[in-house]
Amino acid sequence: MKITILQLFLHLLLLFGLSPLLSGVIGKTKALFAGRTGPPWLQLYYDIWKLFGKGLVLSRVTTWVFRAGPVVGLAVPVLAALLIPFGSIGAPLSFTGDLIFFIYLFGLARFFTACAALDTGSAFEGMGAVREVTFSCLAEPTVFFAFIVLARLSGSLSLDAMFGQTLAASWHSAAPSLLLILVCLFLVTLVENCRIPFDDPNTHLELTMIHEVMVLDHSGPDLGMILYGAAMKLFVLGALVVRLFLPGTTGSMILDLLLFAGGMLLLAVIIGVVESTMARLRLLRIPQLLVGASLLSFFSLILLLR
């Protein structure tokens, strides 16, 4: 399929424009449950704008690695977003085997974030880095199994085709496997973005933080880049879940776009509901849940191969 400039433009516009809104929707949903007014819908846009206008404080012990962390953390979700279709708008960049590239792009971002945290020399940030890396390495097999199932269903090794037109037909032939995968990918979205059953993005209490602790020393534009990168990461992983949930196409591009945007906002509401109704899991239970998710996705593969 030929990708026009218009599509590429739309892709980037959606990514850059819509991703901070998700956090606003989540915040509003949580506020609704708690009976508060909550922060404005566009709070994250204001935050990022404010941070980009601020100065930067750097610790004397840090090196270039510390500055590289946020940059990579912002660049990786943008690159990854180019590999996946948003709704039925095809991916601008696609080649055979890009699913592995997709997964390890996030591996790269994680490596640099963890290194930047270690670079500050603070034991506290090292602890956060250790947790982040542990949980991600437990979540990675789940993504792999899910992608293998989709690759097998679509007969292709590129993400664009795996999440492409064949998906709707696959729901008729292999609904149980796809349903399991949908649940697993949703869990991965939660753990990779440090949402509540795994980590609480709002806490600044020492023993409950995983991701937040790693970015404590960043300030100003660096922190802005981290916030923007995190919002885009949620958007990219959420886009996979939404595409799996709404596989069809309406034929008209405008309608498809609206459907996709609506799906993303619905996902944000669901995340908000999960965050309001569940408590954070004990740290010991998290690996158990992640291994369970991997096994579930493995089982969906068995079910498909049968």
Partner 1 sequence: MDNTVNFLLLLVILLNFFILGSSRLVSCIRTVAIQGGMLSLLPVLAHGFSGHTLFLAAGAFLLKGIAIPFLLFKAIRQVRIRREVEPLIGYVPTLILGTLATAGSFIFSDRLPLIAEHSQSLFVPVGLATLATGFLMLITRRKAITQALGYLIFENGIFVFGMLLTEAMPLMVETGVLLDLLVAVFVMAIVMHQINREFSTMNIDKLSSLKE
Question: What are the residues binding partner 1 (CB under 8 A)?
Answer: 176, 287-288, 291-292, 295-296, 298-299, 302-303, 306
- In the complex, the smallest distance separating the C-beta of residue 76 from partner 1, rounded to whole angstroms, is 30
Nearer to partner 1, 44 or 286 (CB): 286
Buried b (16+ CB within 10 A) or exposed e, 42-52: ebbbebbeebe
Q: Are 41 and 73 in contact (CB under 8 A)?
A: no
Tokens of 93: 């960049």
Amino acid identity of residue 22, one-letter, is L
DSSP symbols for 54-96: S-----TT--HHHHHHHHHHHHHHHHHHHHS-BTTBPPSS--T
Nearer to partner 1, 16 or 299 (CB): 299
Beta bridge partners of 89: 86
Which residues, 6+ apart, have CB-to-CB distance to 145 below 8 Å?
184, 294, 297, 298, 300, 301
Tokens of 136: 């991600």
Q: Are 28 and 41 in contact (CB under 8 A)?
A: yes
Nearer to partner 1, 119 or 140 (CB): 140
Nearer to partner 1, 270 or 289 (CB): 289
Alpha helices in the chain (DSSP H): 5-34, 43-52, 64-83, 98-119, 123-154, 159-162, 166-173, 175-192, 211-214, 220-245, 253-277, 285-305
- In the complex, the smallest distance separating the C-beta of residue 294 from partner 1, rounded to whole angstroms, is 9
- In the complex, the smallest distance separating the C-beta of residue 283 from partner 1, rounded to whole angstroms, is 14
Nearer to partner 1, 26 or 146 (CB): 146
Nearer to partner 1, 32 or 283 (CB): 283
